[in-house]
Amino acid sequence: MFGRSKEINKSTAWKRLESQAKKMRKIQMRDMFDKDPKRAEKYTLKLDNMVLDFSKNIIDDKTFECLLKLAKQAKVKQKIEQMFAGDKINITENRAVLHIALRNKDNTPIYVDGKNVMPEINNVLAKIKSFSEAVRLGKFKGHTGKKLTNIVNIGIGGSDLGPKMAVEALRKYWGKGINCYFISNIDGTACAEVLSKLDPETTLFIVCSKTFTTIETLTNAKTCRHWLVDALGEPAVSKHFVAVSTNAKEVEKFGIDTENMFEFWDFVGGRYSMWSAIGLIIAIAAGYDNFEKMLAGANAMDKHFLNSEADKNIPLILALISVWYNNFFNVRNHAVVAYDQYLTYLPAYLQQLVMESNGKFVNLDNKFINYQTSPVIFGGAGTDVQHSFFQMIHQGTSFVPCDFIVPAISHNEVGEHHEILLANVLAQSEALMKGKTVAEAASELKSAGKSVDEINRLKKYKSFKGNRPSNTIIFKKIDAYALGMLVAMYEHKTFVEGVIWNIDSFDQMGVELGKQMALKILPELQGSRESKDHDSSTKALIKMIKKMRK
């Protein structure tokens, strides 16, 4: 069994970390930097053109040692090997977890139930390559013979957030004339706003649903189908719709040629699926060569994750630092700030990856958990967020650990823009770490010529406690390879957190309850039938909404 009988918060390593945390709460990072000139060098790791500096964290050698012992006690190494071996570590759904196989560039055999999955994966990749190139070159044309330049991805959750994030991150590589759109929300406005921008003759829809029954996706797909048929007629459907699914019968029933159906597998979870045929829009937009580079970058991180020693393992160390604050400093939030406009959607993608994976309260031994699991992930693009939530990060009553992500070289080197951007990200991490004491604030005010009364009135307002932790992740440039490394790094970090918390990071039972109840409420909103099952608030709200809609 993938779980373990002894609860991790009762382990020796956990108890030592509790004791260590009491000591470290009294330590200032600025003092640790003053005492150890080589601190940054000690806590910096490199992989290809990526650098991770985790020195601005409230850790010392003893803390780091204790965290590594926690990973050992949780059998992280063994669990990593089980995942790569194709063991069914998703125990609630009895499935292997093999998104790593999708980017297995060495093509070494990976087995599930005694069957090597690589031939099927390679077949689908070849199909993605052939189709994406045909669309980009205008060989696969629309019903009226025009080139398809407007590509619309219809999906939700992992079938939307991953490809949407990646397509935007690789915008600089989009093919000439290609435009990409995403429809996910069941709100009719999502469809209406996208369709209002499109020409039916040049539009290709990619319907992403493993079962081809997802209500949000199928409702949106049917609306788009009606729009297309009204403009071009029923025969146009097969030239303007393709599917990423496993349900050939329903795909064909919809009017899609099953030759244009791209498969993926049960061992690929939704939020880990951008590497599969779900990434078809990435291949069309940025080109299959860049899609392959993205897979190669992820594969490089996979190999690093599988083969590196714990004290040099980037995803593992990031996970341990997260657990350190989450479980021993009672920190409930984590911010991800990308100083690259093309990574605008990365925080939203990571919200699903982290919180859907690890937002669980039952462990692998079928017991309720009595310790904190997933933190709340939020973030945005720097420098915009410096003028929104950074006030709280700098002077709020609780600290928020941050990940800063930045490329050394921009895709758009315009004047001094990128140097100013780089100066900002470096300044933010240093300011959060150092802070500014009341005495330092008073000295600055005095130098500015303020009176004694003004100094006494303002010095506390101008002070910063500091000692706020952050990781700085630098890439030479955010290209497809770097993007693959970055996303795989966060996938593996999330997995290690789940291993330590002894939870199944690969199911999403919490998504289902609201959907089930929505299916019960829908007929009541559409008709006169009333249910006795609802609470008084829900009953009243249904009545009020029906009255308003009349």
Domains defined along the chain, listed by start: 8-73+308-434+468-507 (3.40.50.10490), 115-291 (3.40.50.10490), 511-549 (1.10.1390.10)
At 1 the pLDDT is 47
Q: Tell me, rounded to whole angstroms, the distance of Cα 225 from its chain centroid.
A: 30
Q: Which of 253, 417, 460, 515 is catalytic?
A: 515
Rounded CA-CA distance 468/433 in Å is 5
Which run of H or of E encompasses 376? strand 376-381
Whether 53 has a pLDDT exceeding 60, the answer reads: yes
Report the 10 Å Cβ neighbour count for 490: 21
Coil/strand/helix, residue 439? helix
Rounded CA-CA distance 236/408 in Å is 47
Average pLDDT over residues 310-325: 98
Rounded CA-CA distance 400/549 in Å is 43
pLDDT digits (tens, 9 = 90+) for 257-304: 999 999 999 999 999 999 999 999 999 999 999 999 999 999 999 999
pLDDT digits (tens, 9 = 90+) for 75-85: 999 999 999 99
At 529 the pLDDT is 76
| Residue-wise DSSP of 67-87 | HHHHHHHTTHHHHHHHHHTT-
At 329 the pLDDT is 97
Please compute, for residue 156, the number of CA atoms within 13 A of its CA located in the half-sphere on the CB side. Answer: 18
387 as an active site residue: the answer is yes
Q: Which of 22, 26, 387, 550 is catalytic?
A: 387
Q: Which of 168, 201, 292, 356 is catalytic?
A: 356
Residue 427's identity, in one-letter code, is A
Coil/strand/helix, residue 36? coil
pTM: 0.96
Rounded CA-CA distance 449/430 in Å is 26
Query: Is 455:442 a contact under the CB 8 Å cutoff?
Result: yes
At 274 the pLDDT is 97
197 as an active site residue: the answer is no
pLDDT digits (tens, 9 = 90+) for 362-389: 999 999 999 999 999 999 999 999 999 9
The span from the first CA to the last CA of the chain, in angstroms, equals 56
What rounded mean pLDDT belongs to the chain? 96
Q: Is 512 exposed, middle or buried (0-12, 13-18, 19+ CB in 10 A)?
A: exposed
Whether 4 has a pLDDT exceeding 70, the answer reads: no
At 137 the pLDDT is 96
Average pLDDT over residues 124-131: 98
Report the 10 Å Cβ neighbour count for 302: 25
143 as an active site residue: the answer is no
At 50 the pLDDT is 98
At 3 the pLDDT is 59
pLDDT digits (tens, 9 = 90+) for 413-442: 999 999 999 999 999 999 999 999 999 999
Task: With CA atoms as reference, report the closest residue to 183 among 172, 195, 200.
Answer: 195
pLDDT digits (tens, 9 = 90+) for 480-506: 999 999 999 999 999 999 999 999 999
Average pLDDT over residues 460-480: 98
